[in-house]
Amino acid sequence: MPDVYYARPSNFLSDSRDKTVITGGSEDEVLEKMYEYLRSPEAQARYPNVDDPTELEFNIRKCIFRKGDKVLGTRAPDAHE
């Protein structure tokens, strides 16, 4: 099964109501699709302060994850065990 990468605009921008998920086969593909999304009229209405999405490249790259790599069990063990 090929790797699937994804990013959510709400991870690096301040609107938690945005449920958009951008997926792709590589980090670069997700980055390009994110640029397209941030230039769309829907995103411009939601994020009016984003004039040039390429300025957010490092923030976007930091928020791109590979499906299946989410860390589970990161809570501290129960003190009573």
pLDDT digits (tens, 9 = 90+) for 3-19: 899 999 999 998 888 89
For residue range 17-69, list pLDDT tens digits in order: 889 999 999 999 999 999 999 999 999 999 999 999 999 999 999 999 998 87
Q: Which residues pair with 24 in a beta bridge?
A: 5
CA distances from 2 to 5, 30, 33, 66, 68 (A): 10, 15, 18, 11, 12
Q: 26 by DSSP, 3-state: which?
A: coil
Q: Is 33 within 8 Å of 24 (Cβ atoms)? A: yes
Which region holds residue 73: left if phi is over 0, alpha if psi is between -120 and 50, else beta?
left
What pTM did the predictor assign? 0.80
Domain boundaries defined on the chain: 5-66
